[in-house]
Amino acid sequence: MTLTRNECEKLTARPGKFEGEPIYSPYFYEFMLDGMADETIWHDDGTAVDLFKVEEEDIEIFPELKMVFTVAVSTDDNGFAYCQILTEDETNALLSEENL
């Protein structure tokens, strides 16, 4: 089930996994848990970054993502989730580095 904006607001407003992260972090984190990433990049240390192309349905819930191409989601060893927004050029550069 997809989280609503209101549910995401509550999750990011309190201490915990999404503390200090953008409102859409729990939304994309849920997709990460469901294995729905468009791409996954593995670092040499074994950590993963999941990339999600921003779609129209995402923008309907989070209009602030209108000019965003990709949301990158990762977690640390303590279970905290992190989101970063990427342009199309940044996404392509990241994927090119991965294929070297």
pTM of the model: 0.90
Per-residue pLDDT at 57: 96
CA distance 66 to 81: 22
What is the pLDDT, as a whole number, of residue 99?
A: 61
- CA 58 to CA 39: how far, in whole Å? 17
Q: What is the pLDDT of residue 98?
A: 66
Q: Measuring CA to CA, how many Å separate 73 from each of 22, 30, 76, 78?
A: 11, 10, 10, 15
58 CB contacts (<8 Å, ≥6 apart)?
Answer: 24, 27, 52, 65
For the chain, residues with pLDDT lower than 70 are 98-100
